[in-house]
C-alpha cells in the first residue's frame, strides 16, 4: 500500500490519497522551447511542498487571502525578495 505523509498544516488532519487538498509548492524549474514546434518544455529540478491544507480548511480560506499572507511573509522576512 502506498503511503503519503500529507497532513494539514492547520488542523493536523491526515490527508488520504485521492482526497482534495491545497498546497503551496516551491519549484525550481528550467524551461526551453523546442526548435521545430516552438512548444515549451518544463523540467522540474526540485519541488518542495511548503504548506498544505485539507479541503475543509482550504474551503474556509480564499486564494486571495493566502496570496496576501505569502506576500507579507516574503516582504517581512527578506526585502531583497520583492
- Please write the tens of the pLDDT for every residue from 60-75: 888 887 788 777 777 7
pTM: 0.63
Q: How far apart are CA 74 and CA 20, in angstroms?
A: 27
CA nearest 14: which of 52, 50, 63? 52
- Interatomic CA distance for residues 82 and 74, integer angstroms: 7
Burial of 14 (0-12, 13-18, 19+ CB in 10 A): exposed
The pLDDT tens digits for 21-45 are 998 888 999 998 888 888 899 999 9
In the chain, where the domains are located: 21-81
Amino acid at each position: 500500500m502506498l503511503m503519503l505523509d500529507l497532513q494539514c498544516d492547520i488542523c493536523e488532519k491526515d490527508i488520504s490519497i485521492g482526497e482534495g487538498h491545497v498546497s503551496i509548492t516551491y519549484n525550481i524549474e528550467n524551461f526551453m522551447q523546442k526548435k521545430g514546434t516552438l512548444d515549451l518544455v518544463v523540467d522540474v529540478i526540485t519541488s518542495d511542498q511548503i504548506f498544505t491544507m485539507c479541503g475543509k480548511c482550504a474551503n474556509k480560506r480564499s486564494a486571495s487571502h493566502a496570496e496576501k499572507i505569502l506576500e507579507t511573509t516574503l516582504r517581512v522576512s527578506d526585502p531583497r525578495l520583492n
